Structure 1
Amino acid sequence: MGFHSRWISMIMSCVTSFIYSIRIDGDLQGRITPTSGLRQRDPLFPDLFLLCAESLSSLIHKSAEMGTLRGLQVCKRSPHITHLFFVDDSLLFCNATTADCDEVQRLLMVYERATDARKGRNPSYARRSILAAQPIIPQEMRWQIGNGKKVCIWKDKWTPFPSTYRVVSPQILLHEDTTVDTLINFDHASWRADLVRELFLNFEAEKILSIPLSTRMPLDKLVWAATPNGTFTVKSAYWIAMEMKEAKQEGTSDVCDQCGQSSETTSHVLLFCDFSRLYVGSSTTSLAQFMAIAWSIWRNRNGIRHGEQPKKKENLILEASRFISEFQAIQDPQAIQDPPIQSVCCSRTSWLPPVLSVYKANVDGAVFKNLSSAGMGVLIRDYKGQVVAALSQCLFAPLGPLKVEAKAMEAVVIFARDVGIQNIIFEGDSLQVYNCLHGSSKAPPAIANALNGILFHLQSFCSFNFSHIRREGNKPAHIIAQHAKLVDDFVAWVEETPSFLETVITCDVLDSI
């Protein structure tokens, strides 16, 4: 730092020769000589700390002036912040680039040599917590498919199976490093269904085809798999850490308990193990059969580890079949509904026309479970209730209700833009999609790309708004969505009313008067 040797000698004599006394009942007692040098809370400590910290601050400022370290800006015209120093902590800001990180490392090494300090000798509790959580993050991160170019089919976690999020079908035809974009038809923003069904087991192919793709084809994105909306929370990470800790304390072996030969991986246990591959690995295995057999294998494995006798293969198959039969006997399909979403709007039960010079587009989605496909219906009307344009489109993918509603909303935005409408209200009966578009709830990863595509295409309109209507008030859109079952690809009507909608549209107009 350039201080004279005499001044340094005087300071060091203060650091190494001081003695403490303790005042007890008003009298000084004892002569305490510290052996570890100057400590925190000593009267001389703040001054010496500022002198040493100033040298590091000067190094950082010089690097910033030379342009080798940029720092952080809170807005465009604000100054760059490179560091904040506190009494017991220091914060350094830089860009997330290799060059900036190398420069920070260089500055700290220079400071270390000059002051004989040591980086990270006694890291804070927060830093130790971050380091301890590092193994948890990769375990619960999975890919949200955009264009599929970053995600490896066989190596990465991207499928909608919460157990592993990895592909369990045996690798065939394609190379092990093939990426997911190979399975996508970019011209139609859809999956190459024939190829998907050829590569994967039936139940897995249907799940992959149920992943909605956006026409915008955004980049693939990593999301947090431990929460429904894909956002990291400390609470979810805590429970994962506790599970990992308990599993580690059990000290279980990695050897498969069924055959006792290979490592116990998911693909080995369910596909390649001699004990289970004849039953689980068949291409004709349904999703229900696969899940029931896998559950039986898992129970058998846990029983073996707790000292029970292993079950025969035949008994496991019978147990799985009995479980499926019992489940189907008590299952009420009407009882399975989307979780309730808190309403943020006043939903109506009847259709209302828009004001003059504004159009209203009603939209709905339909699921054709027996055909493994879905339908989308769009109806655009003016302030008189007259049909301006309509669309009925079939999606040859086994999408669920929420996914097809999101895809339908994306389809109506693109269709209205192509028709040439500038001022429009988009109205649907999916409250969850409505809330996500209004920002009152976060979009689940399953529909996030479709909603981002909607927001992107909205830039084409002069004005737009979203409205929610109850299902009984959205009958024309529902009927035209059901009509998609009879359509090979799509059918559009421009300035023409579909004949099968004339009656219900007339009723809408009369009810609005």
Structure 2
Amino acid sequence: MAAQNLVREGVRWRVGNGSNIHIWGDKWLPTSSTYKIASPRQFLHQDTRVSELIDQDSARWKVNVLDALFFPYEADVIKGIPISSSLPPDKMIWAATPNGKFSVKSAYSIAMRQANRVDQGPQMYQAAPVCEGCGLEAETTGHLFWTCPRAREVWTCLKLVVPVDNDRIFSLLDLLWSMLVEESQNVEIVAKVVCIAWAMWRNQNEVQHGGQRRNGKDKVRWASQYMEEYKAATERLSCNEEADEAGGTWSPPPACSFKINGDSAIFANQKAVGVGVIVRDDIGRIEAAMSKKIPILLGAVEVEVMAYEIGLLFVKDIGIHDLIMEGDSLIIHRAMCDMSTPPSSVAVVIQGMQDMCKEFRRVMFSHV
């Protein structure tokens, strides 16, 4: 019985065609809280399947349906789940590991969580202790970051207006969602807010362990210095990458074959991604090209695998049979070559592309 409970908690569905997954009740979202839909079921039947949310002809999510049925954050999560063009069967995977495969270590972690819940039993709700900094209110995250006089001192020193609506925003996560999605704030401003909040939390922990309480100016100074160091480090890294790219040259494929280069871009402010594909022959002539903007927001790995899949579908449509698929994602390259297990979020698309490759005469993969 204990083993069954462990397995039940540790597995979730990976979406293929969605025909076996109930929208409400089954675990299929790639979110580690419950993996289940929290949005209320309105007019649809309890037995409605995820396949009803997928356009079976284009193998894409029905975006308008998602926006109408689910909370905005859940709709965005669903849109970010890659769908393979082959629409394979749904599959149960181990949710506690990145690659979806069972490991003893992850099972032990789940078992310990279950044991802790049993040991603790039902408990009465206890209010948070009174804030040690001001002694005025309970020390919630909202109080620590916004309403505490010490927090207001920090934001005053920063000279940054943080739009906090106490009726809607109860946590740092709520604030970040509001700034990024609802108000489309500049990413640098949001990063500054996060860094300042981290500085306050860090100093709070220092005080708890006998350290010195810093004033608002010191916290702002520390956070600003940290951000400057981070920017400098990333700029140096960017310069090194540009130098590496400048030093490399495109190499042609073997005679009578073609090389396909695909790449992607993420437009976070527009909640969209873009993919581009270019096809060259063995002397470097451009034979075909295409680009597409897709109104869904995907992660870096997910949009890279989409670029690969769209590239393969493109060359299949124009009748190319001998090709080299070249891209800059090492994760996707190694997965396509069966050198490593792909992340569970893109495994179904990887499998679909590997099956598609059997329809070509010769396919090779190259990483740049």
Whether TM-score is above 0.5 comes out as: yes
1:326 counterpart = 2:197: yes
Question: Which among 290, 298, 309 is matched to residue 391 of structure 1?
Answer: 290
1:447 counterpart = 2:346: yes
SS at match of 1:170: coil
- Amino acid across the alignment from 2:282: Y
- How far is 1:280 from its partner? 7.6
- Amino acid across the alignment from 2:75: A
SS at match of 1:426: strand
1:367 counterpart = 2:238: no
1:223 counterpart = 2:122: no
> Cα gap change, 1:382/1:409 in structure 2, threshold over 3 Å: closer, same or farther?
same
Question: Which among 271, 276, 296 is matched to residue 377 of structure 1?
Answer: 276
8 Å contact from structure 1 (residues 155, 177) kept in 2: no
8 Å contact from structure 1 (residues 203, 287) kept in 2: no
8 Å contact from structure 1 (residues 203, 286) kept in 2: no
TM-score, normalised to structure 1, is: 0.50
Match of residue 161 from structure 2: none
Per chain length, whose mean CA-contact separation is higher, i.e. which structure has more relative contact order (CA < 8 Å, sep 6+)?
2
- How far is 1:172 from its partner? 1.8
Question: Pairwise mapping of residues 76-475 of structure 1 onto structure 2 (< 5 A)?
Answer: 132-253=2-123, 279=168, 288=177, 326=197, 349-469=248-368
8 Å contact from structure 1 (residues 425, 464) kept in 2: yes
- How far is 1:416 from its partner? 0.9
Moved more, 383-392 or 236-245: 236-245
8 Å contact from structure 1 (residues 184, 192) kept in 2: yes
Whole-angstrom distance in 1 between the partners of 2:75 and 2:233: 26
- How far is 1:287 from its partner? 6.8
> Cα gap change, 1:225/1:289 in structure 2, threshold over 3 Å: closer, same or farther?
farther
Whole-angstrom distance in 2 between the partners of 1:209 and 1:452: 20
> Cα gap change, 1:435/1:335 in structure 2, threshold over 3 Å: closer, same or farther?
farther
SS at match of 1:166: coil
SS at match of 1:135: helix
Moved more, 353-362 or 172-181: 172-181
SS at match of 1:416: helix
- For 1:348-400, what per-residue CA distance to the aligned partner results, in whole angstroms no more than 9, with x for missing partners? 93210112111111111111111111111111101110011111112221111
- For 1:217-238, what per-residue CA distance to the aligned partner results, in whole angstroms no more than 9, with x for missing partners? 0111111011110000112111
| Percent pairwise identity | 37
- How far is 1:420 from its partner? 0.9
8 Å contact from structure 2 (residues 54, 62) kept in 1: yes
- For 1:424-449, what per-residue CA distance to the aligned partner results, in whole angstroms no more than 9, with x for missing partners? 10000111100111112101111011
- For 1:188-222, what per-residue CA distance to the aligned partner results, in whole angstroms no more than 9, with x for missing partners? 11111111011111111111111111110011111
Larger radius of gyration: 1
SS at match of 2:292: strand
Whole-angstrom distance in 2 between the partners of 1:354 and 1:152: 46
> Cα gap change, 1:334/1:410 in structure 2, threshold over 3 Å: closer, same or farther?
farther
- For 1:121-161, what per-residue CA distance to the aligned partner results, in whole angstroms no more than 9, with x for missing partners? xxxxxxxxxx5422100111111111111111111111121
Whole-angstrom distance in 1 between the partners of 2:255 and 2:198: 54
8 Å contact from structure 1 (residues 158, 165) kept in 2: yes
Whole-angstrom distance in 1 between the partners of 2:331 and 2:168: 39
- How far is 1:422 from its partner? 1.2
SS at match of 1:252: coil
Whole-angstrom distance in 1 between the partners of 2:89 and 2:52: 15
> Cα gap change, 1:333/1:153 in structure 2, threshold over 3 Å: closer, same or farther?
farther
- Amino acid across the alignment from 1:243: R
- How far is 1:423 from its partner? 0.8
Q: For structure 2, list consecutive stretches of 5 or more residues without a partner in the other structure.
A: 128-166, 180-192, 200-222, 235-244
Q: For structure 1, list consecutive stretches of 5 or more residues without a partner in the other structure.
A: 1-130, 259-277, 291-321, 337-346, 470-513
- For 1:172-193, what per-residue CA distance to the aligned partner results, in whole angstroms no more than 9, with x for missing partners? 2322221111111111111111
- For 1:249-293, what per-residue CA distance to the aligned partner results, in whole angstroms no more than 9, with x for missing partners? 11224x8779xxxxxxxxxxxxxxxxxxx7489xxx777369xxx
- Amino acid across the alignment from 1:288: W
> Cα gap change, 1:216/1:257 in structure 2, threshold over 3 Å: closer, same or farther?
farther
Query: What is the aligned length?
Result: 275
